[in-house]
């Protein structure tokens, strides 16, 4: 009878895990939920992106049109890089809907994900025994990230233009680490699993979709409440409804999210911060309209909501009160007629007129807002 091999011999005979398998395990250890690998090269959706720009659908997001050739080929933004580790990080899709889109209720995902991708980069260099040139990207570089993520196997681009993963839905962020080393590419996601479903397109409050995977940002509530810096077009204000910042409608109506969206993990950095937690649209709108710049800076430090600035959030808050406010909200809006920002005054005046017409407010109310255009 042959004796069993010593433990050390048995361990050494086990096949070594590939670098890609070790990278995947490290990504999960860092808190990412999806991982894939892709070789850098031409972006398959470049022509679609160019056509989107040609129609002017980017609105005021002029940065989208700068250096478009960089977006055409993922080798260009980071010279020397040949592969990318593409990750997805869930921000939860089971939380109740509310006046702030789910992605923006907690800490800024740019900061959270970049810190973890940089930790991954350090781990990779240590694993290789030498510095591996690389760079982390999260939503701020000239990269068609959904194209990259689909090619890395993370999901398909849904009819609402969001990347959808069959196991987690679409409530996740995309990030990538570009590296100057060859990695074995994951199988790209080739299937379109939306089928004949068009719920997301039909549910859009402002009808911002003019076709399948054709989103006109100029009508999108997320664009209007975040990226747009001027007055919200008057014909769209009522359609903004209760959204103070962003919009989740085309995601919450998606059957893949209804079935597979996940709960926020304990200790997730994306849990709603105190200034937002438990507030409905009216409560948050009133709180924002009463904020000073100092209070805003303190309450939203490290939040993605800083992007709209206080004047933008007050503009949005006035629109929300015009849509769902009550007579008891009139004093808050009247006070906003004295705001130092003409943008805020204009939308407060609009809201006051709306309340006067729609909610049997005092007859003198419409006169209050007539001094503003």
**Where are the chain's structural domains?**
18-179, 206-246+273-368
Instruction: Inform me whether the pLDDT recorded for 360 exceeds 60.
Output: no
Q: pLDDT tier at 68 (50, 70, 90 boundaries)?
A: confident
Instruction: Inform me whether the pLDDT recorded for 83 exceeds 90.
Output: yes
pLDDT in tens, 98-123: 999 999 999 999 999 999 999 999 99
Calpha distance 85→19 (Å, rounded): 12
Mean pLDDT of the 163-182 span: 98
Mean pLDDT for the chain overall: 93
pLDDT in tens, 299-345: 999 999 999 999 999 999 999 999 999 999 999 999 999 999 999 99
Question: How confident is the model at residue 357, as a pLDDT?
Answer: 80
- Residues 143 and 71 sit within 8 Å (Cβ to Cβ): yes
Calpha distance 305→130 (Å, rounded): 39
Please write down the HEC assignment for all residues of 243-289: CCECCCHHHHCCHHHHHHCCCCCCCCCCCCCCCCCCCCHHHHHHHHH
CA distances (Å), 209 to each of 61, 197, 244, 287, in order?
18, 14, 21, 32
Nearest to 139 by CA among 346, 347, 307: 307
- Residues 40 and 180 sit within 8 Å (Cβ to Cβ): no
Could you identify the residue written with the tokens 């940065």?
63
Share of the chain above pLDDT 70, in %: 92
Question: How confident is the model at residue 67, as a pLDDT?
Answer: 86
Q: pLDDT tier at 69 (50, 70, 90 boundaries)?
A: confident
Instruction: Please list the active-site residues.
Output: 139
Dihedral (Cα; 103, 108, 112, 113), 10-degree rounding: 60
């Amino acid at each position: 009878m042959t004796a069993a091999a010593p433990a050390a011999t048995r361990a050494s005979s086990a096949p070594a895990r590939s670098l890609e398998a070790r990278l995947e395990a490290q990504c999960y250890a860092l808190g990412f939920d999806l991982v894939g690998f892709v070789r850098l090269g031409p972006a398959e959706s470049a022509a679609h992106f160019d056509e989107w720009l040609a129609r002017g659908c980017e609105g005021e997001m002029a940065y989208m049109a700068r250096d478009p050739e960089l977006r055409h080929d993922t080798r260009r933004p980071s010279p020397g890089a040949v592969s990318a580790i593409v990750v997805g990080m869930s921000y939860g899709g089971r939380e109740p809907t509310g006046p702030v889109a789910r992605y923006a209720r907690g800490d800024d995902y740019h900061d959270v994900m970049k810190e973890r991708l940089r930790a991954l980069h350090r781990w990779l260099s240590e694993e290789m025994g030498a510095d591996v040139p690389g760079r982390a990207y999260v939503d701020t570089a000239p990269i068609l990230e959904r194209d990259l993520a689909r090619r890395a196997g993370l999901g398909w681009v849904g009819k609402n233009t969001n990347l959808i993963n069959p196991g987690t839905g679409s409530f996740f962020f995309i990030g990538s680490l570009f590296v100057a080393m060859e990695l074995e590419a994951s199988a790209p996601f080739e299937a379109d699993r939306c089928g004949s479903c068009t719920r997301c397109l039909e549910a859009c409050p402002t009808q911002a979709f003019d076709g399948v995977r054709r989103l006109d940002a100029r009508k999108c509530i997320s664009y209007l409440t975040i990226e747009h810096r001027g007055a919200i077009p008057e014909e769209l204000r009522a359609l903004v409804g209760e959204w103070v910042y962003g919009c989740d409608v085309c995601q919450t109506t998606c059957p893949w999210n209804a079935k597979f969206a996940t709960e926020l993990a304990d200790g997730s950095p994306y849990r709603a911060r105190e200034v937002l937690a438990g507030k409905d649209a009216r409560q948050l709108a009133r709180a924002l309209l009463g904020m000073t710049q100092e209070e805003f800076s303190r309450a939203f430090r490290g939040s993605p909501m800083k992007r709209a600035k206080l004047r933008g959030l007050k503009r949005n808050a006035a629109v929300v009160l015009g849509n769902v406010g009550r007579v008891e909200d009139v004093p808050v809006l009247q006070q906003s007629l004295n705001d130092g920002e003409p943008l805020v005054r204009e939308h407060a005046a609009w809201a006051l007129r709306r309340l006067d017409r729609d909610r049997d407010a005092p007859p003198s109310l419409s006169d209050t807002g007539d001094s503003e255009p």
